Structure 1
Amino acid sequence: MHEAKTTADRLIAFSDAVFAVIVTIMVLELKAPDDPAFSALLPLWPEAVSYAVSFLFVVIIWINHHHLMRFVERPTLGLMWVNFVHLFIVSLLPFATAWVARTKLASNPVAFYAGLFVCIDIAYNMFERQVFAGASASQVSAPARRVARRRSLAVLASFVIAMLVAFVAPRVSFALICAALLLHVRPDVSGHGR
């Protein structure tokens, strides 16, 4: 039992470190203007908005990851691989964020950004499924699993729609991404917290 807990703790620590590096890389992309006037900050709005949304997304992912890992007593090899795939896809977020910011929310970069969210959400759904497969009914009830599944599918559908909308209305697409993120703000879908 102690060995299994150590493995779960190591998986959590590794994942936390990756999330920290991702946030650090994103903030390093923010470049201060050379002009000392506050008005020089106004043209940087795309960087600020895309950074804020991406930071919020990483926070939401971390909170949900942390919440799910509480149910892991003995991580399986499958769970570890799904976790690494999920982290790899999340690690592409700084690149997508920078592209969206530099192009001031142009169609193709926003479509790529939304597509990345689709991939991240698919990996998250696989991760969630792996965790729930190993969790007992007393840890995660059947109704809570159904609610989590429905929520995950709704978020995934929203990201797919945002990806398609980006080609005709990138700012609307960006707003859809933000709205979809709100569905994962609260990780506990059982209604009673733990």
Structure 2
Amino acid sequence: MSRMAPSTPSRLAAYTDAVFAVIITIMVLELRPPAEPTWAGFLDLWPTVVSYVVSYAFVAIIWMNHHYLMTYITTPSLKLLWLNFGHLFCVSFLPFATAWLAESELAQVPVIFYAVLFVATDGMYNLFEAEILKHAAEFSAESYRAARRRSLFAFLLFVVAVGLAIVDNWLGFGFICLALALHLRPDATPLRRRKRRRNDADS
């Protein structure tokens, strides 16, 4: 009997892409047209629109960060595979949280749950990122520390968002959007890798 081929980054990325695609599809299927064919009817759907846009941006940011991290993996370890499954487990609750947020018109408890979900998801991402970058030989120690500081700061903002949501749901939701903005530029990109190689060549 032939031995099973080792896991590859492409297989890990393909599975993750499929999960993200399903999550986005579920969120889209939750969208409903306005009851009245008027602008007023459309504006009544603002909680749905806001919830969907923020959640879609979250999925897009997660995917982009995940995409760039894949460039630093040769063969995924068992620990890394479980961290990825844990990360996807948290992300899989996003359609439920988004629907609850929209139907409640951003009420306090759904916003708190939404913020807690972001904390859990970003926490798992931080573990996933740290596991990859600490084993990436081409990723400099300085770049590693900078990426980790940025990721941990964004994670702290999500934690703060939970506390603020307990006091004021809109303030908490605003902090969630702020934390997402920090992730628009991925922590680990091929640019860092090329810069490191140029520095090594010059030295």
Bin of the TM-score, shorter chain as denominator length: over 0.9
Aligned match of 1:116: 117
Residue deviations 1:7-39, cap 9 Å, x none? Answer: 211111000000000011111111112311121
TM-score, structure 1 normalization: 0.93
Greater Cα offset, 55-64 or 149-158: 149-158
Percent identity for Structure 1 against Structure 2: 52
Gaps of at least 5 residues in structure 2 are 194-203
Residue deviations 1:87-107, cap 9 Å, x none? Answer: 110010111111111111111
Q: How is 1:1-194 mapped onto 2 (pairs within 5 angstroms)? A: 7-136=8-137, 138=138, 140-188=139-187, 192-193=191-192
Residue deviations 1:57-102, cap 9 Å, x none? Answer: 0000000000001100010011011001101100101111111111
> What displacement does 1:50 show?
0.7
Using the alignment, how far apart are the partners of 1:123 and 1:44 within structure 2?
A: 32
> What displacement does 1:191 show?
9.4
Aligned match of 2:199: none
Give the alignment's Cα RMSD to 1 decimal. 1.5
What letter corresponds to residue 144 of structure 2 in structure 1? R
Gaps of at least 5 residues in structure 1 are none
- Residues 141 and 190 in structure 1, CA contact (< 8 A), matched pair in contact too: no
Kindly tell me: are residues 18 and 190 of structure 1, through their superposed partners in 2, closer, same or farther at Cα, counting changes over 3 Å? closer
Residue deviations 1:88-140, cap 9 Å, x none? Answer: 1001011111111111111111011000000001100110011113211x2x1
- Looking at CA atoms only, which structure, 1 or 2, has the larger radius of gyration? 2
Greater Cα offset, 115-124 or 125-134: 125-134
Using the alignment, how far apart are the partners of 2:178 and 2:124 within structure 1?
A: 20
TM-score, structure 2 normalization: 0.89
What letter corresponds to residue 62 of structure 1 in structure 2? W
Using the alignment, how far apart are the partners of 2:52 and 2:39 within structure 1?
A: 19
Aligned residues: 189
Using the alignment, how far apart are the partners of 2:126 and 2:178 within structure 1?
A: 18
Kindly tell me: are residues 26 and 190 of structure 1, through their superposed partners in 2, closer, same or farther at Cα, counting changes over 3 Å? closer
- Runs of 4+, deviation exceeding 4 Å: 188-191
What letter corresponds to residue 53 of structure 1 in structure 2? V
SS at match of 2:167: coil
Using the alignment, how far apart are the partners of 2:187 and 2:114 within structure 1?
A: 26
SS at match of 1:134: coil
- Residues 72 and 131 in structure 1, CA contact (< 8 A), matched pair in contact too: yes
Using the alignment, how far apart are the partners of 1:167 and 1:29 within structure 2?
A: 27
What letter corresponds to residue 12 of structure 1 in structure 2? A
